[in-house]
């Protein structure tokens, strides 16, 4: 009995130590997710307005820009996958990787060659463990991304997109990330970033209505050349912020669940330890009573 009690005490100490760690991680994620959510929400209107402006520009300029024109044949596709640098975030990384696997298989089934770009150590480890090749990887910033990193990723994607197919260029670029909806709702999504998808107005023009007249200075081609790279940077930046907020929210929920489970384990082991101690005391009393009865009978 004594050995069993020592085992239960050791387990209680181990689980209690784990509980302190998960509780600390929960509090850290809770303190960071508020700011991450604000950054994600604040960046969305700018990206949406920029997308609408470029859609109108591409629609009314009558200029076929490579970044807005659908290719006749898509031979090679690029996929940018956004994961986390760390684990302990529930199903956050698994959901993104699962969605990316679905997209890559779908593109390959369509006869397209796929080139993968990775963000986050989890994605890099996933591909290295399976000995898969990837074009580039960025790590070390997923919880708190910066605009400089977003610009670096966007410039690499734009450069490879503008390269000829024979030299290793791409015909389209997709991004797989986790969209932050609420603190309890995050979903892995796929967004085609290049060529840019034209966003139509929510309200169609009425019959006989006057359509807007656009004038471009210095020219539509130069305006598109200047704004489209900014659009790609804004898109990557918004996706990184949304992924960061989703990661922290997922980690907060996962650590809260782990803390609650640790509390239940401590209660269970404490109850089992008390039962073992009570059984030990009962056995000792029984031995004392038995010994006293044997002495009485002997006299």
Q: Take residue 203 and report the two structure tokens written for it.
A: 């309200």
Residue with more model confidence, 281 or 97: 97
What's the pTM value of the predicted model, to 2 decimals? 0.83
At the second CATH level, the architecture of 22-198+215-254 is 3-Layer(aba) Sandwich (3.40)
pLDDT for 262 equals 93
pLDDT digits (tens, 9 = 90+) for 222-277: 777 788 888 899 999 999 999 999 999 999 999 999 999 999 999 999 998 888 88
Which residues are registered as beta bridge partners of 115? 78
pLDDT for 278 equals 85
- CA trace torsion 134, 248, 245, 176 (10° rounding): 30
| Statement: residue 52 has pLDDT above 90 | no
pLDDT digits (tens, 9 = 90+) for 81-131: 999 999 888 899 999 999 999 999 999 999 999 999 999 999 999 999 999
pLDDT digits (tens, 9 = 90+) for 14-31: 999 999 999 999 999 998
Q: Are 125 and 118 in contact (CB under 8 A)?
A: no
| Statement: residue 184 has pLDDT above 90 | no
Sign of the CA dihedral running 229, 135, 199, 189: negative
Mean pLDDT of the chain: 86
| Statement: residue 202 has pLDDT above 50 | no
* Domain residue ranges of the chain, discontinuous segments joined by +: 22-198+215-254
| Statement: residue 293 has pLDDT above 90 | no
Q: Are 216 and 61 in contact (CB under 8 A)?
A: yes
| Statement: residue 298 has pLDDT above 80 | no
């Amino acid at each position: 009995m004594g050995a069993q009690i020592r085992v239960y005490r050791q387990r209680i100490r181990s689980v209690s130590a784990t509980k302190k760690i998960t509780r600390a991680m929960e509090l850290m994620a809770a303190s960071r997710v508020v700011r991450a959510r604000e950054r994600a929400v604040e960046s969305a209107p700018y990206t949406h307005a920029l997308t609408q402006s470029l859609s109108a520009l591409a629609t009314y300029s009558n200029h076929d820009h490579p970044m807005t024109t659908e290719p006749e044949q898509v031979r090679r596709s690029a996929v940018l996958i956004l994961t986390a640098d760390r684990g302990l975030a529930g199903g956050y990384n698994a959901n993104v990787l699962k969605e990316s696997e679905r997209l890559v298989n779908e593109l390959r089934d369509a006869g397209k060659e796929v080139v993968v770009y990775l963000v986050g150590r989890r994605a890099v480890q996933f591909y290295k463990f399976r000995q898969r090749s990837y074009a580039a990887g960025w790590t070390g910033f997923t919880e708190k991304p910066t605009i400089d990193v977003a610009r670096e990723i966007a410039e690499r994607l734009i450069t490879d997109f503008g390269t000829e197919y024979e030299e290793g260029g791409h015909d389209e670029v997709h991004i797989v990330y986790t969209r932050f909806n609420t603190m309890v709702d995050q979903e892995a999504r796929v967004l085609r970033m290049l060529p840019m998808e034209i966003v139509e107005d929510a309200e169609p023009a009425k019959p006989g209505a006057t359509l807007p007249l656009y004038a471009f200075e210095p020219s539509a081609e130069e305006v598109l050349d200047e704004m489209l790279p900014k659009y790609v940077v804004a898109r990557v930046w918004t996706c990184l912020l949304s992924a960061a907020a989703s990661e922290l929210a997922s980690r907060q929920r996962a650590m809260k669940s782990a803390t609650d489970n640790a509390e239940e384990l401590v209660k269970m082991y404490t109850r089992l330890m008390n039962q073992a101690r009570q059984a030990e005391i009962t056995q000792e009393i029984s031995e004392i009573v038995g010994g006293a009865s044997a002495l009485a009978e002997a006299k």
